[in-house]
Structure 1
């Protein structure tokens, strides 16, 4: 995920588009406790960020999300309708999928018995608990319904790898069937993280954003957001979102002109 974010940030900077990235509350460097699921809460986090920039006279014109982040930006678009360009990278269409792979068999019985499931991630240096409440929150989050509520003027671009081993490429076609104003790109041979297709991914995203730039008069601002789960990473711009919005204002902002773009990535 981090490689996707940084490569996109560089590509956007080269295209004279500023980029911004932050951690959701309870993730990475931001305050708060990590919660499994939390989809709508994180859409609200994103709205808090957008509002901060709106108050600074920036017009946020686009958001990009990877994996879980793809779902977050779609939920955002369905609820707030103030950003008219959305890029969904490898998002899930059915949030009931993928749970058994993460929590293992009989997860419902175990979570009802113990009140939680302890999850240890081999690839990352942290573990976390999945409570029954957070599990139900995920099961109750309806991406299909949200997609039907996205404004017809909102341009949605879904990019998915044909060899995605985490979220099967078939779900990308469900987005295409459900969202009225939708463009689909399947990158042949790409995995979930577009590991060997970073250039093709970055080019597709930048070109889509440029199309929007040509349609918007005046100073345009672009938002993409990155969230990781308790992984320290290099930030394009650090933002802590908790009970009080706290924006980092120096060091890691990729400045490339008058436009602002937020980069949002997350795991499924």
Structure 2
């Protein structure tokens, strides 16, 4: 995945700072990500969701709204409507680059904004919200003590998340007119509502209101005990995985032809987090897996280890090879399962002359079928050793196979 730093003109012409997460392989679709109130484009949830979609071939543009992060402009002059207009400006920029968005993702107030923006943009097929308020005016409870001063003076400085912000009167007036019920009733896109029941910032009641106001196709997914900002890596990964899987159903991603000499396509491994070992693994556009290391080795244990994938490859190939032979022979094999374990052993333990350590795979095969006779079982055990992955591994490894008694 490549991440480009770009700028584009916002709703009032000021330059907005953005990140464009591009797929390493073919670009199949484009999405926009809108961050939460007073947050920014680089919060962990935004980065993880963008990386996950990019691994699927979906480019993601995430940007700082006017007056926030590295974007130009005065925050006190912004409003909910200006955020929506910034989203439209972002969609316009993408279209000018030949990559019009077909998906919008919004976190918290950004979720409310993408719902509103979707009604004003063509070509949007899917909208996903995370912890979004049904009424954008909900955010005013963060600075309720300053509302009187804002009304009287036209603006006031408030402290949000430990940082000072100046809130203008226009923001208060604009959010008061931002109820989304009518927009949701005419939303011509699939909707995914994600919310944590214990969200202490935006009540899950907002998610219920958004979901009930929308028409099908719509989906609701609980984020369980996640916090509002989705700060835990496991929660961000879960949200990213759900959004990616859900989006694949509604976004048309025309598949390119596989490269010459690689009929099965390219297996692409992309680092998900440079601070750990989590990897996105994609094969084509419909297969996605995670690779990781155990906690004891500095990983997050969110996916199989590389050796785990190697063992899985041996087990899967063994099962397929046995099934193909039994099918051709029309033998009464009902089910195959293969347990594989991996270890490092000294070569002399494997009756080899070298004193170096080699890889040893232990394979236990269970063949289910009450009508299989002993001769057929023995033959299928022999066939297991013809598995192509087995043959590849045995050149430098040892594979021991055991047939589990019927």
Do they superpose with TM above 0.5? yes
Alpha-carbon distance, 1:26 to partner: 1.7
Specify whether residues 109 and 57 from structure 1 end up closer, same or farther in structure 2 by C-alpha distance, changes over 3 A only: closer
Residue 212 of structure 1: how far off its partner (Å): 2.5
Matched, 1:90 2:139: no
The answer as to 2:190 corresponding to 1:140 is no
2:166 to 109, 122, 129: 129
Larger proportion of strand: 2
Q: CA RMSD in A?
A: 2.4
**Could you report, residue by residue, the CA deviation over 1:39-77 in whole angstroms, capped at 9, with x for unpaired residues?**
222222211221222223223211111011101100101
Contact 1:161/1:194 (CA < 8 Å) preserved in 2?
Answer: no
CA gap 1:49/1:98 in 2 versus in 1, 3 angstroms: closer
Deviation at 1:168, TM superposition (A): 0.8
Aligned pair count? 214
Tell me the TM-score normalized by structure 1.
0.72
Q: Find the partner of 2:245 among 207, 210, 225.
A: 207
Shift of residue 162, structure 1, vs aligned partner: 1.5
CA contact under 8 A between 1:118 and 1:129: conserved in structure 2?
yes
Instruction: Give the alignment of 1:216-227 within 5 angstroms.
Output: 217=254
**CA deviation map 1:151-206 (0-9, x unaligned):** 2xx11111111211100112111111101022111121122122331221111011
> What residue number does 2:154 align with?
115
Match of 2:201 in 1: 166
Distance 1:35 1:66 in 2: 21
1:36, CA displacement in angstroms?
A: 6.8
Q: Runs of 5+ in structure 2 lacking a partner?
A: 1-38, 257-281, 286-406
Q: Is the 8 A contact 1:37 1:135 kept in 2?
A: no
Q: 1:55 to 1:95 in 2, by over 3 A?
A: closer
* Cα distance, 1:10–1:218 mapped onto 2, change above 3 Å: closer
